[in-house]
């Protein structure tokens, strides 16, 4: 079968679940990953064909997409802040909003990092996307990353090797940690923050496939991770040390109150590209 003919069939079969533009983007992502062909190659060589074996592979992926399994998991990779990351069912798929958090940290600290060796801690690292992107762009920094999941840490270690950076990974349950045992200039975290009451807002492909351990918190204590991390930051941030969070868009006011209560200064709440309250920064002075 000609690839361009299969493309039409592929998109048609997915449009009952995804919009046509998204279905088309899936086709070209798979085409590049599985066939090493780009859109332009198909335009220049309209008579390219799939073998029967290749069609079997494509049909298998198509059926999984119909089950709303994320394309990133099917391909086993995604892009974040210009870098490639392995992703699987043990880690969250990195979001554009988290790229904004990383960019904020880099822009605030690039000049500082050039004149002193920053020490950075990423809590709840998952795929390692935050820690690895930071050390890639702040190469003089010493970066540490904590996660409670051994499987997530295994993936993060592979991603550090993949991107040729050095990160010190630590297996630790942050909720059971009394002191981090060392001092940092920056602590950053994108912890679980989706309340159970917000599950109906979560897309089926996320709810059914991404690790709930990294997503959800109980409705009656939605700030549990933020409170614990802020407590640790009080003890383990250097003077003028910076604390960064990605937050639940509905809890911006509560987060400001939390950091004020814990005596952080210069607290700043930022919106993401979608206009939602999403990122916070506070200083330990």
The token pair that represents 22 in the structure block: 């998204």
Q: What angle do CA 142, 148, 149 make, to 5 degrees?
A: 105
Residue 211: Cβ-neighbour burial (10 angstroms; 0-12, 13-18, 19+):
middle
Closest CA to 192 of 228, 232, 140, 153: 228
Evaluate whether 141 touches 119 at the Cβ level (below 8 Å).
Answer: yes
Closest CA to 174 of 262, 233, 119: 233
Evaluate whether 121 touches 191 at the Cβ level (below 8 Å).
Answer: no
Q: For residues 203 and 28, give the distance between their C-alpha atoms in angstroms, rounded to a whole number.
A: 23
Looking at the DSSP bridge assignments, the partners of residue 194 are 216
Q: For residues 27 and 37, give the distance between their C-alpha atoms in angstroms, rounded to a whole number.
A: 11
In tens digits, what is the pLDDT along the chain, a chain of 285 residues? 999 999 999 999 999 999 999 999 999 999 999 999 999 999 999 999 999 999 999 999 999 999 999 999 999 999 999 999 999 999 999 999 999 999 999 999 988 777 678 999 999 999 999 999 999 999 999 999 999 999 999 999 999 999 999 999 999 999 999 999 999 999 999 999 988 888 888 888 888 888 888 888 888 899 999 999 999 999 999 999 999 999 999 999 999 999 999 999 999 999 999 999 999 999 998
Task: State if pTM tops 0.85.
Answer: yes
């Amino acid at each position: 079968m000609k690839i361009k003919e299969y493309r039409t069939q592929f998109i048609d079969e997915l449009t009952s679940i995804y919009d046509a533009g998204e279905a088309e983007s899936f086709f070209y992502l798979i085409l590049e990953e599985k066939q090493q062909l780009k859109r332009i190659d198909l335009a220049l060589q309209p008579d390219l064909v799939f073998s029967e074996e290749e069609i079997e592979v494509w049909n298998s992926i198509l059926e999984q997409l119909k089950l709303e399994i994320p394309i990133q998991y099917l391909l086993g990779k995604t892009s974040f802040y210009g870098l490639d990351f392995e992703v699987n069912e043990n880690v969250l798929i990195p979001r554009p909003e988290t790229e904004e958090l990383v960019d904020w940290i880099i822009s605030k600290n690039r000049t500082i990092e050039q004149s002193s060796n920053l020490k950075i801690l990423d809590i709840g690292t998952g795929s390692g996307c935050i820690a690895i992107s930071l050390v890639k762009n702040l190469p003089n920094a010493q970066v540490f990353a904590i996660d409670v999941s051994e499987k997530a840490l295994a993936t993060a270690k592979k991603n550090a090797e993949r991107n040729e950076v050095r990160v010190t990974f630590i297996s630790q349950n942050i909720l059971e940690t009394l002191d981090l045992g060392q001092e940092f200039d920056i602590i950053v975290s994108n912890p679980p923050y989706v309340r159970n009451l917000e599950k109906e807002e979560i897309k089926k492909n996320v709810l059914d496939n991404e690790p709930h351990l990294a997503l959800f918190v109980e409705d009656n204590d939605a700030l549990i991770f933020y409170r614990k991390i802020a407590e640790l930051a009080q003890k383990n941030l250097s003077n003028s040390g910076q604390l960064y969070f990605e937050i639940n868009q509905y809890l911006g006011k509560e987060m400001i109150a939390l950091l004020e209560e814990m005596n952080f200064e210069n607290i700043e709440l930022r919106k993401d590209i979608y206009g939602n309250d999403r990122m916070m920064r506070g200083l330990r002075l």
